[in-house]
Amino acid sequence: MRARVTIMPKRNVLDPQGKAVVRAIHQIGMEIVHDARVGKIVEIEIAGNDAESVRPKLEEICRDLLSNPVIEDYRLEFEK
């Protein structure tokens, strides 16, 4: 199975990469874009299909290894 971890900057944290994307989009004339946020995505391939048995350990990995909980939020999803 595959686990997909989406890591985004928290709403109240400044996101300079996102700001740069908005500026670049405006420069090519698409003014209807008013915000952008840039995050990371990690796709993890795992042997077996038992999502619930690996979830606690993966939550730990998301929190301690893949994200910075001070400035980022993560979301963990499974695909069979």
N-terminal to C-terminal alpha carbon distance within the chain: 5
Number of residues that bind a second copy (CB under 8 A): 31
18 binds a second copy (CB under 8 A): yes
| Cβ proximity to a second copy, 47 vs 70, nearer residue | 47
35 binds a second copy (CB under 8 A): yes
Burial of 18-27, coded b for 16+ CB within 10 Å and e otherwise, reads: beebbeeeee
User: Using CB under 8 A, which of 11, 14, 16, 34 touches a second copy?
Assistant: 34
Which tokens hold the place of 41?
A: 């995505």
Phi-psi region of 45 (alpha: psi -120 to 50; beta: other; left: phi over 0): beta
57 binds a second copy (CB under 8 A): yes
The residues binding a second copy (CB under 8 A) are 6, 8, 18, 21, 24-25, 28, 30, 32-48, 54, 57, 60-61, 65-66
